[in-house]
Amino acid sequence: MQANTIQNRPIIEVKELSKTYPGRVEALRNVNLSIPRGQLTTLLGPSGCGKTTLLKIIAGLLNKTEGNVFINGQPVNGPGPERAFVFQDFALLPWCTVLRNVAFGLELRGVPGKQRNEIAMKYIDEVGLTGFEKAYPYELSGGMRQRVGLARALAVDAEILLMDEPFASVDEQTRRKFQEDLLNLLKIEKKTVVFVTHSIEEAVYVSDQVALLGPRPGRIMRVINTRLDHAENVEDIRRDQRYLNLVEDLWQILRQYLI
Amino acid sequence: MSKYKPKTKTGLFKRIAWRVLSLVLVFGLWEFAGRKPISIIFPTFTSTMVALMNLLIDGTLLSAYAVTLVPLAIGVALVGFLGIVFGILMGLYRSFEWLTLPVFIIVQSAPMAALIPLITFLYGIGLGAKVLAVVLMAAPVIVLNSYRGIRNANPTLIQMGRSFLASRTQEIFKIILPDASGMIFAGLRLGVAAGFIGVILAELLITPTGIGDLITYYRALALYPQMFASIFSIVLFASVVVSALQRLEGILFRRQQCTS
C-alpha cells in the first residue's frame, strides 16, 4: 500500500455498529463513523445516548452486538497497544505514587524500571505535575489526578487517545485550564483523540470534528467539522465568532431531541 | 469513617483527658457497686486490681497466658494463611465460589460456640481441639472478608488494567490483590478477635487450662477478686491486641481509604 493512502484513510472506522445490553437495553443502533487521523473528534450527546458505550467498544473494553470497528483497517477484538484510555473517574491506583501510576502502562508491558521512570518523568513534566512524582493520588486535587491519568495514557505512546468525559469530575475553572493545556499538549504530541463529553462548549472548543449522538438508542445524528484553527493561540478560540456560532448551532440541533 | 486528628497540643491533651475521665467514671462505678455491694460475689475495683498485681508478681498470670496463647497463635496463623488463600480463591474463581461459599455463609451465621463441646468427641481434649476451636471461630470472617475484598475490587481499576493490556496474572497481582488488601487485613483483625473468643470458650468448655483454668479455679475457691482479675486481664489483653491491629491497619492502608 502506498503511504499516501494510509495517511488519507480514517484511522478509526465504525461500521453498522449496534450494541444491546443484557436485559434488552439498546444502547447503540447502526452507528457509522469515520475518525480522521491526527484530529480530535468529539462524541457529543445527552446523558444515556450511548457515547461512552461507543468509546468503550472502540477501546475494546466492551463487546459489540453487531457491526464492526476497524483501527488502521484491522477489526477490533479487544484493547490494543495503539489505543490508550483516559477514564472519567481517573482510575488511579491509590497505593501508588504519581510516578508509578504514570509508568503503570509501561510496567505492564515489561519496560525496565529505570527506562519507564524516565519516560514517565517526561510526561509528568508535560502535563505540568513536576514536583509531584512522589505524591499519592489522595494528596492531589481532581484536576491534578486527571493530569496523572492523561500522562499515563501519553506515556504508552499510543496513536489514539480515548478520553471518556475526562473533565466531568473537575470544577469549571480547572476544566477550562485543562482544556487549554490539552490543546497545547496535542500540538506537541501528534495524536488522534476521541473525546466524549456532554458539554457543547467543551465539544466545540477542543474538537476538529463533532459527532452528534441522539438519545437512546444512540445513533449518529450529524457530523460537523468545526474548522476552528487549533494551531492558533488557544486562548483566543473562545472569542472567535465561529466558535460562538457553532455552540449556538449545535444547541439548536440538540434541543430538537430533548423533551 | 472519619478520624479525629489532634492538630494542637491542647487537642491531644483534651483527647487524653476525656479518655481518662471515662475510665475514672467506669472504674468509679465499679468501685461503688463493689462497696455497696450489689452482690456478695462482686469485688470492688481496688481489690480486683490488688489481686491482679499479685497474680502478675507471682507469675501465675504469665504462665497462664503462656498456655492460652499457644492454641490462639497456632489457630490464627493457620487460619490467617489458609483462610486468606481460600477466600482469595473463592473471589477469583466462580466454580470455587459455587462450591464453598454456602458453607461459609452457614458457618458464619451459625452459633459456632455450640459446636465446641462436639469437638471433644472428635478430637479429644488436647491442644488440637483448642486450635480447632480457634479456627472454627476465626475462619468464617477471615475467609469471607478476603472473598469480598477480591470480589469488590474496584471495577474501574480492573478496566484500566485491561485497557493498558494487563495479563490476568498482572491484573490479579498488581490490581486486585493490592486493592483487596485493606479488607483482607480487616478480616484478619476480626478473626483475631473471634479467635480470642474461641480459645477462652475452649478453655472453659473443653478442659480448663491457661486463663480459662484460672477463672474456673478461682470461682471454685470463691476467690472472686482473683477471678475478676483474670477476666479483666483477658478483656484488656484482647482489646489491646485488636486495637493495635486496627492502628496498624490505619497506617498500612491509609492511602486506599482516602481515594475513591
DSSP chain A: --HHHHHHS-SEEEEEEEEEETTTEEEEEEEEEEE-TT-EEEEE--TTSSHHHHHHHHHTSS--SEEEEEETTEEP-S--TTEEEE-TT----TTS-HHHHHTHHHHHTT--HHHHHHHHHHHHHHTT-TT-TT--GGGS-HHHHHHHHHHHHHHTT-SEEEEESTTTTS-HHHHHHHHHHHHHHHHHS--EEEEEES-HHHHHHH-SEEEEEETTTBEEEEEEE----TTS-GGGGGG-HHHHHHHHHHHHHHHTT--
Average pLDDT, chain B: 89
Predicted local confidence at residue A254, as pLDDT: 83
Q: CB–CB of A84 and B163 under 8 A?
A: yes
Backbone angles phi, psi at A187, to 5 degrees: -70, -35
A-interface mutation test, from B3, B157, B159, B160, most A Cβ less than 10 A away: B160
Q: ipTM score of the complex? A: 0.89
Characterize the bridge pairing of strands A160-164 and A66-71.
unpaired
Say whether pLDDT at A177 is over 90. Answer: no
What's the pLDDT at B38? 84
Per the CB < 8 A criterion, the answer to whether A18 and A66 are in contact is: yes
3-state helix, strand, coil in chain B (%, to 5): 85, 0, 15
Which band of pLDDT confidence, cut at 50, 70 and 90, is reported for residue A95? very high
pLDDT attached to residue B26: 93
| Coil vs helix vs strand at B223 | coil
Mean pLDDT confidence for A52-79 = 92
3 state DSSP class of B40 = coil
**What angle, rounded to 10 degrees, do the helices at B45-57 and B60-92 form?**
90
- How many Cβ pairs within 8 Å bridge chains A and B? 60
Which residues fall within 8 angstroms of residue B83, CB to CB, at 6 or more apart? B138, B139, B142, B143, B146, B187, B191
pLDDT at A216: 76
Q: Angle, nearest 10°, between helix axes B177-205 and B116-123?
A: 80
HSE value, Cβ hemisphere, 13 Å, CA-based, for B195: 29
**Quick check: A158 and A105 in contact, CB under 8 A?**
no
The pLDDT score that the predictor gives to residue A171 is 84
A81 neighbourhood in chain B, CB within 8 Å: 165
> By the CB < 8 Å criterion, does B255 face chain A?
yes
Instruction: Give the distance from CA B194 to its chain's centroid.
Output: 5
Question: Which of A182, A200, A185 minimizes the C-alpha distance to A254?
Answer: A200
**Is the per-residue pLDDT at A206 higher than 50?**
yes
Task: Say what the pLDDT of residue A40 is.
Answer: 92
Q: Distance between CA atoms of B55 and A84, rounded to whole angstroms? A: 67
Q: What is the mean pLDDT of residues A99-118?
A: 95
pLDDT at position A6 is: 56
Query: In this structure, what are the phi and psi dihedrals at residue A85, rounded to the nearest 5 degrees?
Result: -110, 140
- Maximal CA-CA distance, chain A: 56
Can you give the residue ranges of every domain in chain B? 44-259
Confidence (pLDDT) at B256: 67
With CB atoms and an 8 Å threshold, state whether A61 touches B256: no
Interface touch A109/B174, C-beta < 8 Å:
no
Asked which of A191-195, A217-221, B207-211 is least confident by mean pLDDT, the reply is: A217-221
What is the CATH number assigned to the segment(s) B44-259? 1.10.3720.10
What is the side-by-side order of every strand in the sheet holding A12-21? Answer: A25-35, A12-21, A66-71, A74-75
B157–A contact, CB cutoff 8 A: yes
For B206: left if phi > 0, alpha if psi spans -120 to 50, otherwise beta; the answer is alpha
Question: Is B259 within 8 Å of A96 (Cβ atoms)?
Answer: no
Is B251 an 8 Å CB contact of chain A?
no
Residue pair B38/B219 in contact (Cβ under 8 Å)? The answer is: no
d(CA A36, CA B32): 85
Least confident of A7-21, A109-123, A225-239, B19-33: A225-239
